[in-house]
Amino acid sequence: MNHLSRAGTLLILVVAGFAFVRYATAQVSLPLIGLVREDNAAHWASLSPRLGSSMQCQQCHDDVDMKWSRSAHAGQSCESCHGAGDRHIEFGAIVEPMRELCTTCHQKTTGRPESFAAIFRLDHFPLDDCMTCHDPHSPAAAFPDIPHNVEGREDCLACHGVREIASLPPNHIERPVELCLGCHKRAEGSP
């Protein structure tokens, strides 16, 4: 019987060893494939974010926030246009300024939804900077000063429908003339 008990002990030891190694290395948590490397997942989770949130920007830039939060761009991330803000917070570096960012979104392009506010660059004041009329923090056109008397007039379209004199932006073409003076005011000091 001695040889039998020795073989039995050896078998038990082998099975126990296998069970131990399996217990130590395999993760029962995953019913399907692969192992979970919890320490490595913790490493990925420990990286520090570079983009913050617009809430952080507002803490200093409350003047911009006043305009932005009431505009059509409200709710959009500051970093969508300005880029990641981490260096700005840490070193006080100037955030990447706006370049030709407007048309990245607002140029009419194949594939872009029809309903999205977009212009043809060559039709919509091609020689002017977007910021002449639009403040990106409050993008509804901040109207350029009108250098003539507009009060009481109803004949705006006599000139402004004509391309050579002063064309209308594309989104103005369908609007009735009664609406013009609701937004457009005479510049101070003009005749």
Binding site residues, another protein, CB under 8 A: 20, 23-25, 27, 29-30, 32-51, 53, 73, 76-77, 79-81, 83-84, 103-105, 107, 109-113, 116
Cβ-based nearer residue to another protein, 109 or 132: 109
Instruction: Please report, for residues 65, 80, 141, the alpha-carbon distance to residue 89 in angstroms, rounded to integers and kept in the order given.
Output: 17, 16, 31
Q: Which is nearer to another protein, 22 or 148 (CB)?
A: 22
| Integer Cα distance of 109 and 148 in angstroms | 36
Token pair recorded at residue 35: 């192992």
Q: What is the dihedral of CA 162, 163, 165, 170, to 10 degrees?
A: 90
CA distance 109 to 117: 11
Nearest alpha-carbon partner for 11 in 99, 149, 3: 3
For residues 17 and 35, give the distance between their C-alpha atoms in angstroms, rounded to a whole number: 20
- We find the least distance from the C-beta atom of residue 183 to another protein, in angstroms, to be 25
Mapping DSSP to helix (H, G, I), strand (E, B) and coil, where does residue 170 land? Answer: helix
> At closest approach, how far in Å is the CB of 91 from another protein?
16
CB nearer to another protein: pick between 44 and 91: 44
- Least Cβ distance, residue 89 to another protein (angstroms): 14
Closer CB to another protein, residue 58 or residue 107?
Answer: 107
CB of 38 to another protein, least distance (A): 7
Nearer to another protein, 30 or 60 (CB): 30
| Nearest distance in Å: CB 181, another protein | 32
